[in-house]
C-alpha cells in the first residue's frame, strides 16, 4: 500500500516539481556553440544539407560543376578535410595542406563561454570529444596575425616561418584566428555560417506527465545558409561548358562602421573589431574560393596591407578602386588567375565636375575577363551606388554610366566577332522590384514625373509635400551617355542637345524637344488668354507619346536577370542581404546575361549564362535570431552573395 502511494502519488508529484524548477532555472532555447542564438526561427536542418557545400568545395577547381554523386554524409569535419585538400592546396603534401589550412578541430583554452553556467557536463559530452581531438593540433604562432593587426613586417609575414619552401600560411592564420575569436566548441564544419552545432538542453513532455522527462543532450545542426542547386535546368553538357562562381560581398568598411555607430548598437563589441571581422571575411573567401570576387566597402589601407597580399597568395589577381572624396573605402574585383586572363579594365568615377547631378563619390570597376578554357570573354562589373534614399536621380545616372561602360565592352567583343556575357554585381542601394531594379531587369524605365525617392524603394517619403521628380533629360548631354545607356558616337554628340549645332540654326528635333520639355508645359502666370489657343492643356495621351519619343524612357540593351529573388523559395519569406539597427533589406545583387528564350530550335543559339546554383540568403527573422548583423558567424552587415554560372562553349562563336 505504502509502495503504491509512493509510486502513483509521490513520484509523479516530485517529477512535476522538479520539472517546474528546471523551467525556472532555464528557458527552453537553443544554443549554438555556447551562445544562445535560436528561438525557433531560421532554417534548421539535418546533416544532409552539409553535403551541398561539400559538393561545391569538391567541385571548385573543375569546370564540371558539383558532382551529383557526391552524397558524402560522413562527419562534417572529415568531409571538409577531404574537399579542402582537393581544392586549396597547391604545394606540399596533402597532410601539410590540411595542417596549413587549419582544418583540424580547434580549441581555445581562453574561451570565456566554456563554463558550467552555460553547458552542463552532460550537454558537453559530445563537445569534449571534439575538443580532445582538436587540442594543440592547430598551427601556432602565426606571424601573419601581426601583420593583420597592422604591426607586422609586410609580405614576408605571409610565408610560413618554419617551412623550407615559401608555402603560404593563410590557413595557420585562419586556424589561429578562429580559435582566438571563437569560443571552444564553435566550429564551422563546412563553411562559414553553415551547419553549426546546436545544443537542445530540454525536450519536455507536458507537465504532469507520468513519464520521466527526457534529459536530452543531443546536438542538432542549424544550417543558416544552404546551397541551392539549379543544375537540373542546365541545357548544356558540363563537358561543353565553362562553369565559374561569382561572389558579391559588401564587407562593411571599418571607417564607415565607426562613423555610424548607431547602426550597430545591437552588436556585441567583439564582433565589430576589424581584426576579428577580417579573419572571418578571409575565412569565408577561403571556404568558397569563388572564381570572381566583387567586394564593396573595402577600406583602402586594409585592402592593400592586409587583404590583397592574402588574396594574391590564394591565386587571385586584384583590382581596386577607391571612392573619390574623403571616404576611405572603395570597390575591388579579384579573379582567379588560373581561370581567367584580363583583357581590359575600366575604373570609373561617378563624380563629374562638369555635371551638377553627378556630384557624389561612388565608383565602379568594369573589366573584361577571358576564361582560359572558353572562347568568349565575360564582362564583370562591380559597383556600390549612392546610398542616399532621396537621390534616385543620382543613382540612375551612376547606373547609366556603368551600363554604358559594359556596353562598350560588349560592342568591342561583337566587332571582333565574339559574344560577350555579362555579370553585374554590386550593392545598388535599391530594393527588388524598385524602379531601378526593374530597369535593370526589364531593360526599360518610363520615369516621367517619378519622385526621385521612389527610384530605389528604400524609404517611403510619400508624406512629404514637395517631391523632386524625374524629368527629361535625366542628365545633361555633355555626359555623353544616351537614354539607351550607351556612349554617344561622335556624330550623335554633335547632333544632340537643345542648343544649335552650328550656332545659327535650331534643328527641328531640338525645337520639338523644347516644346515638350517640362518647362514648356508650365503656363506662364501672365499668359494672355486666347480661347482655343492658350487655354488648352496638353492631352495626356499626346504627352505620353511625345515623352516616349523624346526621352522620357530609359533603355538598355543588355539582357540581365537577378540571381536572387525577392523571397526565399523555401519559406516564402522576404530574403534580405543587409541588416542594421535601421532595418533589413535586399540591396545586393548579381545580375547575369539571360539565356534568351526562343523556340526549341533556337534555344541552342540563345547565348546567355545559366545559373547552376546559389548560396541562399536569409530572412530578417533568421538574422535577428542570430542577434542581427554583424554577428559571430557573419562578419559584415551584409551577407555574401554567391552563384555558380555556366558559359556554354557552343555559344561562344555566336554573336
Ligand atoms: O546601405 V550601405 O550603408 O550599401 O550598406 O551604403 C552606405 C550605407 C555606405 C556607404 O555610403 O555607408 C552607409 N544611414 C545609414 N547608412 C549610411 C548612412 C546613413 N546616413 N550614410 C552612409 N551609410
Q: How confident is the model at residue 53 (pLDDT cuts 50, 70, 90)?
A: very low
How do strand 329-336 and strand 316-322 relate by DSSP bridges?
antiparallel
Ligand 1 centroid – CA 248 distance (Å)? 17
Ligand 1 centroid – CA 388 distance (Å)? 8
Higher pLDDT, residue 486 or 10: 486
Ligand 1 centroid – CA 90 distance (Å)? 39
The binding-site residues of ligand 1, defined as CB within 6 angstroms of any ligand atom, are 250, 256, 260, 263, 387, 427, 429, 578, 587
Ligand 1 centroid – CA 585 distance (Å)? 13
Q: Could you confirm whether domain 228-444+558-648 is CATH 3.60.10.10?
A: yes
Report whether pLDDT(36) > 90. no
Q: How confident is the model at residue 81 (pLDDT cuts 50, 70, 90)?
A: very low
Report whether pLDDT(481) > 50. yes
Q: What is the pLDDT of residue 650?
A: 66
All cell numbers assigned to 18: 522538479
Ligand 1 centroid – CA 395 distance (Å)? 14
CA distance 119 to 102: 26
Q: Percentage of the chain with pLDDT > 70?
A: 54
Q: What ligand 1 atom has the least distance to the C-alpha of 582?
A: 15
Which residue is closest in CA terms to ligand 1's atom 12? 256
Ordered strands of the 227-229 beta sheet: 227-229, 610-615, 641-648, 241-250, 292-299, 329-336, 316-322
Q: What ligand 1 atom has the least distance to the C-alpha of 588?
A: 4
Ligand 1 centroid – CA 181 distance (Å)? 27
In the chain, where does the domain assigned CATH 3.60.10.10 lie?
228-444+558-648
Q: How confident is the model at residue 565 (pLDDT cuts 50, 70, 90)?
A: confident
Write the DSSP assignment of 464-506 as a string of letters. -S---B--S-SS-GGG-B-TTSSBPPHHHHHH-SSS-SSSS--
Q: How confident is the model at residue 567 (pLDDT cuts 50, 70, 90)?
A: confident
Q: How confident is the model at residue 465 (pLDDT cuts 50, 70, 90)?
A: confident
Contacts of 52 (CB under 8 A, 6+ apart): 66, 226, 227, 229
Nearest to 150 by CA among 7, 274, 272, 4: 274
Report pLDDT digits (tens) over 13-28.
655 554 544 444 433 3
Which residue is closest in CA terms to ligand 1's atom 6? 387
Model's pTM, two decimal places? 0.67
Q: What ligand 1 atom has the least distance to the C-alpha of 587?
A: 4
Beta bridge partners of 320: 332
CB of 202 within 8 A of CB of 127?
Answer: no
Ligand 1 centroid – CA 387 distance (Å)? 5
Which residue is closest in CA terms to ligand 1's atom 7? 387
Ligand 1 centroid – CA 444 distance (Å)? 27
From 324, 360, 387, the mutation candidate for ligand 1 (largest count of ligand atoms within 8 A of CB) is 387
Count CA within 13 A, CB hemisphere, residue 485. Answer: 24
Which residue is closest in CA terms to ligand 1's atom 3? 387
CA distance 431 to 583: 13
Report pLDDT digits (tens) over 253-271.
999 999 999 999 999 999 9
Rounded to the nearest 5°, which phi and psi values hold at 482?
-80, 175
All cell numbers assigned to 21: 524548477
Amino acid at each position: 500500500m505504502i509502495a503504491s502511494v509512493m509510486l502513483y502519488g509521490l513520484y509523479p508529484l516530485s517529477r512535476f516539481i522538479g520539472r517546474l524548477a528546471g523551467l525556472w532555472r532555464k528557458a527552453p532555447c537553443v544554443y549554438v556553440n555556447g551562445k544562445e542564438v535560436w528561438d525557433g526561427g531560421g532554417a534548421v536542418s539535418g546533416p544532409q544539407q552539409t553535403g551541398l557545400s561539400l559538393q561545391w568545395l569538391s567541385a571548385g577547381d573543375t569546370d564540371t560543376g558539383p558532382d551529383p554523386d557526391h552524397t558524402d554524409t560522413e562527419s562534417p569535419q572529415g568531409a571538409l578535410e577531404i574537399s579542402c585538400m582537393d581544392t586549396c592546396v597547391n604545394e606540399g603534401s596533402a597532410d601539410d595542406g590540411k595542417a596549413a589550412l587549419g582544418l583540424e578541430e580547434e580549441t581555445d583554452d581562453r574561451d570565456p563561454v566554456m563554463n558550467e553556467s552555460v553547458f552542463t557536463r552532460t550537454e558537453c559530452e559530445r563537445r569534449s570529444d571534439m575538443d580532445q581531438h582538436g587540442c594543440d593540433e592547430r598551427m601556432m604562432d602565426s606571424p601573419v596575425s601581426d601583420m593583420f593587426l597592422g604591426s607586422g613586417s609586410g609580405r614576408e609575414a605571409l610565408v610560413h616561418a618554419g617551412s623550407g619552401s615559401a608555402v603560404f600560411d593563410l590557413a595557420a592564420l585562419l586556424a589561429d584566428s578562429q580559435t582566438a575569436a571563437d569560443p571552444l566548441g564553435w566550429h564551422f564544419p563546412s563553411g562559414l555560417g553553415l551547419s553549426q552545432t546546436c545544443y537542445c538542453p530540454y525536450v519536455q513532455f507536458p507537465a504532469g506527465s507520468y513519464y520521466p522527462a527526457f534529459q536530452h543532450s543531443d546536438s542538432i545542426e542549424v544550417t543558416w545558409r544552404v546551397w541551392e542547386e539549379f543544375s537540373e535546368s542546365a541545357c548544356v553538357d558540363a563537358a561543353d561548358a565553362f562553369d565559374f562562381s561569382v561572389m558579391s560581398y559588401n564587407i562593411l568598411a571599418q571607417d564607415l562602421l565607426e562613423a555610424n555607430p548607431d547602426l550597430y548598437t545591437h552588436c556585441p563589441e567583439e564582433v565589430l573589431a576589424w581584426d576579428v571581422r577580417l579573419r572571418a571575411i578571409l575565412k569565408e573567401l577561403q571556404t568558397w574560393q569563388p572564381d570572381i570576387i566583387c567586394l564593396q566597402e573595402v577600406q583602402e589601407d586594409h585592402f592593400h596591407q592586409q587583404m590583397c597580399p592574402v588574396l594574391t597568395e590564394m591565386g587571385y589577381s586584384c583590382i581596386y578602386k577607391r571612392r573619390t572624396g574623403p571616404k576611405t573605402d572603395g570597390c575591388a574585383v579579384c579573379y582567379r588567375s588560373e581561370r581567367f586572363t584580363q583583357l581590359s579594365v575600366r575604373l570609373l568615377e561617378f563624380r563629374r565636375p562638369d555635371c551638377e547631378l553627378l556630384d557624389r563619390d561612388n565608383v565602379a570597376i568594369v573589366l573584361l575577363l577571358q576564361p582560359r578554357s572558353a572562347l568568349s570573354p565575360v564582362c564583370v562589373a562591380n559597383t556600390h551606388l549612392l546610398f542616399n534614399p532621396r537621390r534616385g536621380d543620382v543613382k540612375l545616372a551612376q547606373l547609366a554610366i556603368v551600363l554604358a561602360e559594359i556596353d562598350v565592352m560588349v560592342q568591342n567583343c561583337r566587332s571582333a566577332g565574339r559574344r560577350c556575357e555579362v555579370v553585374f554585381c554590386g550593392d545598388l542601394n535599391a530594393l527588388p522590384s524598385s524602379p531601378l531594379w526593374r530597369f535593370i531587369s526589364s531593360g526599360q524605365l518610363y520615369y516621367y514625373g517619378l519622385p526621385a525617392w521612389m527610384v530605389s524603394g528604400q524609404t517611403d517619403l510619400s508624406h512629404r509635400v514637395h517631391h523632386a521628380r524625374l524629368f527629361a533629360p535625366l542628365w545633361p548631354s555633355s555626359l555623353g551617355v544616351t537614354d539607351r545607356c550607351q556612349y554617344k558616337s561622335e556624330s550623335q554628340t554633335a547632333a544632340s542637345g537643345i542648343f544649335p549645332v552650328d550656332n545659327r540654326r535650331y534643328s527641328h528635333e531640338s525645337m520639338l524637344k523644347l516644346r515638350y520639355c517640362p518647362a514648356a508645359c508650365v503656363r506662364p502666370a501672365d499668359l494672355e488668354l486666347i480661347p482655343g489657343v492658350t487655354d488648352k492643356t496638353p492631352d495626356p495621351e499626346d504627352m505620353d507619346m511625345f515623352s516616349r519619343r523624346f526621352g522620357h524612357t530609359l533603355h538598355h540593351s543588355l539582357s540581365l536577370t537577378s540571381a536572387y529573388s525577392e523571397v526565399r523559395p523555401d519559406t516564402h519569406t522576404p530574403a534580405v542581404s543587409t541588416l542594421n539597427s535601421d532595418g533589413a533589406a535586399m540591396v545586393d545583387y548579381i545580375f547575369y546575361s539571360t539565356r534568351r528564350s526562343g523556340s526549341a530550335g533556337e534555344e541552342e543559339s540563345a547565348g546567355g549564362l545559366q545559373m547552376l546554383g546559389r548560396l541562399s540568403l536569409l530572412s530578417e527573422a533568421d538574422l535577428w535570431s542570430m542577434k542581427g548583423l554583424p554577428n559571430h558567424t557573419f562578419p559584415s552587415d551584409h551577407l555574401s552573395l554567391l552563384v555558380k554560372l555556366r558559359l556554354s562553349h557552343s555559344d561562344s562563336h555566336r554573336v
